[in-house]
Structure 1
Amino acid sequence: MNIDDFNLLSKLIKDRSGLTLTKDKAYLLESRLLPVARKWNLKSLDELVMRLRTRSEAGLVRDVVEAMTTNESFFFRDIKPFDQFKQVVLPYLLQSRAQTRTIKIWSAACSSGQEPYTLAMMLKEERQKLIGWNIDILATDLSTEILAKAQAGLYSQFEVQRGLPIQLLVKYFKQAGDRWQIDSSIREMVRYRPFNLLDDLAGLGQFDVIFCRNVLIYFDQPTKQMVLERMAKQLASDGFLYLGGAETVVGITDKFQPMVNHRGIYHHGNATAAAKVAGL
């Protein structure tokens, strides 16, 4: 791939998704975009680039961008964040939201749904504590194709074996041919909608917890800062932000601070918010 074609594709992908591609990732463009070229009856990547240069086709642009997004996810990924949610965050929210009896959670860049469904199953397991509560889980992703899979709740044997405890597989899944489908009672706990993290977040509403794990690693520094500062506006003053193990707010924004003794969880950087969560 020549440098002009690489620059065109990398700029398009960054502008539309925030994903930053370095020149050593050119092989990813070739491997992921050749199927897109075939889908559009184009003979090569060169023809695909030429089509992008000469025509403005929203469907083709969407397919190119979605092909480059990373859809790696599995149930109870890295386990500790979910243990923290059950042992630390949920008890705090049950106490602090006792008057409204409402908990709002956003799973950003949710991919094929394992993260929001993990949260839904965990909350289902705590249902005796949540009688009379309104639990709202919003899950979003840039890719409409991956969201369709998430909404269907159908997973391969490999996907359900990867992180999902056997007792929850037996309890909340039924075999459907060579795949497993999660129970409708769990699917109905999650609202899915397409959403680009580069867009204005105000329309999503306010949240008590935001999961945005293993997403920011693909963004450059200014984009990380923009997304985090927009999220700060949508998170309750004593809310919780989850990032991936390789991600941090340090050196990026002062809108969030790491929670002491709880790696991977962040709270608002203002003194009032810090005081509210200091007892955790």
Structure 2
Amino acid sequence: MSGAMEALRGFVRDNAGINLGADKDYLVVSRLKPQLTSWNVATLDGLVDRLRAQPKGSLASQVIAALTINETLWFRDQKPFEALKSVIIPDLVSRVPADRPIAIWSAACSSGQEVYSIAMTMREEEQQLRGRRFGILGSDICEPVLARARSGIYSQFEVQRGLPVQRLVKYFEDLGGEWRVRTELRANIEFRALNLLDLPQNMGPFDIIFCRNVLIYFEPPIKKAVLASLAARTRPGGYLALGGAETTLGLTAAFTPLPGWAGVYRKTA
């Protein structure tokens, strides 16, 4: 069993960058064991043997999806959305050509709450945007949660987690026990399955990247590599929003903290 746990931790680290210490073995067991039967595997040792035989197959994707932490809610932490309204949009409008859409990327977007929170914020700032268009890319390594994000359908419990009732009524359709994001809010949004450790070379550039509460699961070398990859896909003077417990300090000089806005950075000139 201990050998299987070590192998599974290594598999997730190598394929998703997530560092699960031995203290997280309970999480690995609780998330994988209930699915062994559906995968036609009897034990975790048998699962490891299958993954070694097919390290890039469908089973591998399902294992990564099961072990990826997908905690999310609407307008999480508030600060980045306040910075978006108060600082980022006014700055971009002042220097981005009026005929170029503002490009936004929500990396590790899980089931889409962050993406739709950004879209709501942008639509509510139409006066500031002065007719400028915008596009939002939401990405995640986990295809099942992306399918939920694309559907735009959320349970009553999910919409109660950080979503004010005024926005719920304005931007969602009541399906009777569930709520669906209205078509007009989804118009400028695309969802794609992407691995932050292996991004397409021609991706971007973006004016704003949200990559929040992801780096905390990576070891320093992987954090550096991911931040370098994000910097390469950020326009000069563009913005990066990290989680409240994350920092670029000691990892990259490509981003400078935005004074007064914890967790929000600007690409260094």
TM-score normalized by the length of structure 1? 0.91
The answer for the alignment partner of 2:234 in structure 1 is: 235
Which residue in the other structure is 2:152 paired with?
153
- 1:127 and 2:120 correspond: no
Match of 2:104 in 1: 105
Secondary structure of the 1:231 match is: helix
The percent of aligned pairs where both chains have the same amino acid is 46
- Residue 79 of structure 2 corresponds to 80
SS of alignment partner, residue 252 of structure 2: coil
The structural deviation recorded for 1:200 is 3.2
Shifted more, 118-127 versus 211-220: the winner is 118-127
Q: Secondary structure at the match of 2:196?
A: coil
The verdict on how the C-alpha distance between 1:53 and 1:200 changes in structure 2, with shifts beyond 3 A counting, is closer
CA distance in 2: counterparts of 1:102 and 1:52, whole angstroms: 42
Distance 2:259 2:40 in 1: 54
1:201–1:246 CA distance, 2 compared to 1 (3 A): farther
Q: Which runs of 4+ in 1 moved over 3 A?
A: 53-57, 98-101, 128-132
Matching residue of 1:94: 93
SS at match of 1:260: coil
**Contact 1:101–1:134, Cα closer than 8 Å, also in 2:** yes
- Structure 2 counterpart of 1:264: 263
Matching residue's letter, 1:87? S
Q: 2:161 aligns to what? A: 162
CA distance in 2, matches of 1:249, 1:124: 30
Cα offset, 1:96, TM superposition: 1.4
Answering whether residue 171 of structure 2 is matched by residue 172 of structure 1, we say: yes
Deviation sequence 1:188-246 (CA, Å, 0-9, x none): 22111110000135322100000000000000000000000111111111000000000
Whole-Å separation in 2 of the counterparts to 1:89 and 1:242 = 11
Distance between the aligned counterparts of 1:53 and 1:98, measured in 2? 50
Aligned to 2:198: 199
What is the CA-CA distance between 1:116 and the residue it aligns to?
A: 0.8
List per-residue Cα deviations over 1:108-161 (Å, max 9, x = no partner).
000000001001111112234445422111110001110000000111111111
Write out aligned runs for 1:48-87 (5 A).
48-54=47-53, 58-87=57-86
8 Å CA contact 1:206–1:234 kept in 2: the answer is yes
Give me the whole-angstrom Cα distance separating, in 1, the residues matched to 2:228 and 2:6.
Answer: 28
Secondary structure at the aligned position of 2:190 is classed as strand
Q: Which runs of 5+ in 1 are unaligned?
A: 274-280
Equivalence for 2:24? 25
Query: Aligned with 2:174: secondary structure?
Result: strand
Contact preservation (8 Å) 2:79, 2:261? no
Report the Cα distance in structure 2 between the residues aligned to 1:54 and 1:267, rounded to whole angstroms.
43
- What is the SS of the residue equivalent to 1:203? coil
Q: Secondary structure at the match of 2:60?
A: helix
Aligned residue number for residue 40 of structure 1:
39
Instruction: Kindly tell me the number of residue pairs found equivalent between the two proteins.
Output: 269
Structure 2 matches for 1:176-195, cutoff 5 A?
176-195=175-194
Kindly state the Cα deviation for residue 100 of structure 1 after the two structures are TM-superposed: 3.7
User: Given the two structures, how large is their TM-score scaled by the length of structure 2?
Assistant: 0.95
Unaligned runs of 5+ in 2: none
Cα displacement (A) at 1:47: 2.7
Q: Residue type of the partner of 1:105?
A: I
Query: 2:59, 2:194 → 1: CA distance?
Result: 18
Post-superposition offset of 1:261: 1.8
Moved more, 35-44 or 101-110: 35-44
8 Å CA contact 1:259–1:267 kept in 2: the answer is yes
Q: In structure 2, give the amino acid aligned to 1:68.
A: L
On the 8 A contact 2:109/2:138 being kept in 1, the answer is yes
